[in-house]
Amino acid sequence: MKRQDLLAALLLAMALPGPVSPAYAETAPAAAPLPGDTDESRRAEALLGRAVTHLRSHGGKALADFSVSGHFVDGDLYVYVLDTQGVLQASGGASFHMIGRNVLEYRDPDGKSLFAEILAGARKDGRGLIHYRWLNPQRGTVERKAAYYQAVNDYIAAVGYYAPRATPEQALSVLWRAVDELQRRGTAAFDAFNDLNGGFVRDDTYVFVVGIKDQRMHAHGANPRLVGRKVAELKDAAGKPIIEEMLRIVVQADEGSLEYQWRNPATGAIENKRTFLRRIGDYMVGVGYYQP
């Protein structure tokens, strides 16, 4: 079945109507966009653009403006600024209590040195995108977050946004890209699938790969601790043997989908999920989306 046919069939069945990834140096054209095609990502890039312009025009005098509520805030989006030594110089959001502190040693709940990586990326490329986890004060939960950043003279300005829910179309798009990557690079593609910044973790969507013969998890973008483990006995929150059922689907038909209950890595909550599946040789590739 062709991709277009599978997409049409899956959407009809659901009754739906008719990567950092590349970073850009400071010398790149101002209009060149960073990866991202959601409302949140576009708002974040727009706010960062305003902050960069303000910082270029006013230098260090602009820092106070970023920490004043309302001046550089768009809903739950805000600007934060590091200097080249890793000291947080401004923040219009939850990190305001860290202003004046060197944050290079700070790690997110997954152990990611996010500020150090921002500084390294800015030194190398001038501009980029990073994924990490951060407390969402509105929900009181640690959630997946992405941030655009850009170097401006002696500072690095950044704007982050919390991961929105992926659509079925977006999940299928990630699946097709993962299939192409696996067919092109073979098992070397697993490293990209496991990497938060490898281009295959998007909001609450990620890739996982299970060996059909060995029944081991070979890649998992949300939980790398599963990699290498036999997962045939893995069950969802309701006790459904999901891997067993998924493998049965791809062995019988090469592709399909399965609904079950699973923890959303972006919210930490158990939610209904639908995962699209595709067999590539001796591997099953899966990408799903969460249904509120």
23: pLDDT strictly greater than 50:
no
Percent of the chain with pLDDT over 70: 86
Top pLDDT among 31 and 283 is at 283
Residue type present at position 290: Y
How far apart CA 274 and CA 291 sit, in angstroms, is 8
What is the per-residue pLDDT for 69? Answer: 66
Residue type present at position 16: L
Domains contained in the chain, CATH given: 39-162 (3.30.450.20), 165-291 (3.30.450.20)
Upper half-sphere CA count for residue 15 (Cβ side, 13 Å): 0
Residue type present at position 99: I
Comparing CA positions, the residue from 279, 172, 198, 290 lying closest to residue 236 is 290
Handedness of CA 175, 176, 182, 185 (dihedral sign): negative
How far apart CA 217 and CA 2 sit, in angstroms, is 27
| Region of poorest pLDDT, from 109-113, 116-120, 227-231 | 109-113
Helix %, strand %, coil % of the chain (to 5): 35, 30, 35
> Are 79 and 55 in contact, with CB atoms under 8 Å apart?
no
139: pLDDT strictly greater than 60:
yes
Packed helices 168-185 and 3-13: angle between N→C axes, nearest 10 degrees: 150
Helix (H) or strand (E) holding 96: none
96: pLDDT strictly greater than 60:
yes
What is the per-residue pLDDT for 39? Answer: 79
Strand ranges, E, within the chain: 73-74, 77-83, 88-91, 127-136, 141-152, 155-162, 207-211, 217-220, 255-263, 270-280, 283-291
pLDDT tens digit sequence for 162-220: 877 788 998 999 999 999 999 999 999 999 999 877 889 876 889 999 999 999 999 99
Burial of 12: CB neighbours in 10 Å, binned 0-12, 13-18, 19+ = exposed
What is the per-residue pLDDT for 169? Answer: 92
Residue type present at position 103: V
6: pLDDT strictly greater than 90:
no
26: pLDDT strictly greater than 50:
no
Residue 37 — very low, low, confident or very high, per pLDDT cuts 50/70/90? low
What is the per-residue pLDDT for 5? Answer: 43
Residue 3 — very low, low, confident or very high, per pLDDT cuts 50/70/90? very low
Residue 279 — very low, low, confident or very high, per pLDDT cuts 50/70/90? very high
